[in-house]
Structure 1
Amino acid sequence: MRRSLLTALVLTAASLSAATPVTVQSGDTLTRLALRSGTTVAALRRANPGVGVDALRAGTVLRLPEFRSETRAWTVRAGDTLSRIAQRQNLTLQALLNANPALDPRRTLRVGQRLTLPAAPLARTRTAVILRPASVRVSAVRPVQGRLTTPFRATHPGLDLAAPSGTPIRAVLPGTVTESRFDGQGGWGWTVVVDHGGGLTSRYSHNSANLVRVGARVNAGEVIARVGSTGNSSGAHVDYRLSQGGKAVDPSHLQ
């Protein structure tokens, strides 16, 4: 029995020592860390025995659990982007980038290019980010202090928030910028898309200027663009949209 206990302690120590450390930022919770890191609250607790509350002190160093299993390969097809591949494979963009350290997210993917896919699916984390009015537990930031001119509906799956041109647009949650470009074909004008992990993305369009580049990590509340009226727009506003696993969700449900 003593030998089995010693073996268990050694395996636990080895697992913890192999895990990647992360420093808690102001306002972080275990849920927010799990979303940002592509893992689950339960896995964070297992990797950090003794951490049993959602409120964390800034500066605390936690260990991120690692998934150890076989990897898979993906061959890039026409129309593929990193964000689309991540959503299709139920991964976070960061997990995809971590599995392909030589990949430059600012470069367009080539048809036939081979990517490595982490084997561990993110299904275990999806319960933390599925948006339902009664179950959301993530503190989000309002993208613009402006007036709601168009609510969420079937014909407009987003929110139009009117504000003077140049008003700061802020990321609603922490994440990685996957798009920062002028979308003339779609009529969106200057647009920023942020991947928050677990298939959750936010989109901000018709901007007068984009202030972040693809691949940049942004914090909740960080200014990423400025209000404008570029593309098919009749006045200064931001078209703010959220999607979960590629499906539009009402941004007003994110609190």
Structure 2
Amino acid sequence: MFRFRQTVCLSCALLGGGSGHAAPVPVQAGDTLTRLAIRYSTTIEALLGANPDLRTGVLRAGSTIEVPSRSRIWTVRAGDTLFGITRQQQITLADLLDLNPGLNPSRALQIGQTLRVPGGAPVRQTNAAPARSAVFRAASTGGSLILPVQGRLTTPFQSDHTGLDLAAPSGTPIRAVQAGTVTESRFDDRTGWGWTVVVDHGDGVTTRYSHNSANLADVGQRVEAGTVIAQVGSTGNSTGPHVDYRLTVQGVPVDPLTLN
């Protein structure tokens, strides 16, 4: 199973304190009363009770409605990560994004930032020191970051390049960052990635390693964290030997360094 760093601590409380209280939430395009009831862990009857005008009105994207509060507020503390929160609260990334329109999963959380989490989710608080993310376990023994190769970061994660470019000499071993199953091992000339390996880690998490000089893992192969799956190269659309390393969670590109 793909593991993320545990959070250091959290501050979480019911919005409004319980039955009879409500909180304003935005209406998104395509929303219906049924969809809103599911998203906010409530019922259509409760929504109508809190918004009498909805009985004759129509939901309009961009407006707000009152939702009987069973959602909770999570206040980000040092060490929190977005995906650590979803794991600890036993919710999906989609749940969290639905509750927090505009939240960008590719950006690190800020201390003091507040997020909504579904009211039915478990709440735990711990003062334990954060563990290093198992995402990067034992893939490299040098430096402060553990990555698929021991190399130099030449291109960081950004809007037009949703991955990390890590430069290293041609032939340098590329290691799987976590246990999983190889789902692709091929030359990808359509996208310009050249020789590419993709590993499925479960729970909607995948990693991609591209521009390789050689692929050493086969489709269907089970790999462990640190298994050599390819060698650094410059195949495809590349100007020098490096690995283009990409991480997605439920199809959403994520900066791996925010999980370290």
Larger of the two Rg values belongs to structure: 2
TM-score scaled by length of structure 1 = 0.49
TM-score scaled by length of structure 2 = 0.48
